[in-house]
Amino acid sequence: MNKPLNGIKIIDFTHVQAGPACTQMLAWFGADVIKVERPGSGDVTRSQLRDIPDVDALYFTMLNSNKRSLTLDTKTAEGKAVLEKMIKEFDVMVENFGPGALDRMGFTWERIQEINPRMILASVKGFSDGHEYEDLKVYENVAQCAGGAASTTGWWKGEQSGPLVSSAALGDTNTGMHLAIGILTAYIGRQQTGKGQKVSVAMQDAVLNLCRVKMRDQLRLDTMGYLVRHYPALLTKRFGPQAANVDGHGLLSAIAEVRSLAKKAGGLDLARAATALLNDFRSGTLGAISLETVEQPAPTA
């Protein structure tokens, strides 16, 4: 089968999730991806969260399918020579080492350009170049907090109202997808100029990109003092799942509020309580919920 990226050769110097998700996506589209791992242990996810003894963990296999693999010790002269030969012959090198690790191996961007001016070097980092935390390693939870995503979900008031990290890989896999777009853009650019480029995506930036709509809500909140829903689905007066970007807080907090309201009303029908809550949100009086707004059940004979 002919795939769009057939013929593109990629050195995959990545580990764990963000980088491997990126290179796996490119491999699915036909690129020849060679995963380079450390001798003896390989990618740490080969053994992490393993559920079957003595085999690669699902954590590893689900992020590294469609790739070939080799082990390489870049601390030795022989290992450096092998990597240099690969750089000469390949199109892209992807890495997510800690800041400065590739430079310490002797393969700075300037050196890579000397070996192969057409090479595209793609990197995942925690924070962008020049950031005060550019030298820090970053993992999922830090990325979600630094990028603002953790502030968009969870409960909006009460003892548990602090930021809540999502179980979705907003920091890891999301950053990998942003990097894949950057790599393909650089590849198209190389077709026009004949020169490679350095591509870098910071996990903080990738998370922040997903939170742009929340910036809209923050501006509205600063101006109005409250948030009002204007979504057509609410006209049906049905209480259904709503994304956090609708009114500034997550679904879990709304459900908790409805349950609390129903309990206070002495077993009032949950649907009626939900309707009251939605009407309250739509009117712009967020949090000012009154039992008087709930239609009382008709008396029974």
- Answer whether 90's CB lies under 8 Å from 181's CB: no
- Answer whether 160's CB lies under 8 Å from 249's CB: no
Amino acid identity, position 26: L
- Answer whether 138's CB lies under 8 Å from 203's CB: yes
Q: What is the DSSP string of 4-62?
A: TTTT-EEEEE--TTHHHHHHHHHHHTT-EEEEEE-TTT-SGGGTTT-SSTTS--HHHHH
Catalytic residue among 12, 172, 205, 280: 172
Q: How far apart are CA 58 and CA 48, in angstroms?
A: 9
Q: How far apart are CA 95 and CA 93, in angstroms?
A: 7
Residue 128 has which token pair? 């962008």
Residue 265 has which token pair? 């009303």
**Distance from chain centroid for Cα 185:** 20
Comparing CA positions, the residue from 12, 17, 9 lying closest to residue 35 is: 12
Q: Is 54 a catalytic residue?
A: no
Place of tokens 């949950």: 270
Backbone angles phi, psi at 119, to 5 degrees: -70, 140
Q: How far apart are CA 206 and CA 143, in angstroms?
A: 9
Residue 173 has which token pair? 């896999």
Residues in the chain: 301
- Which positions are catalytic? 172
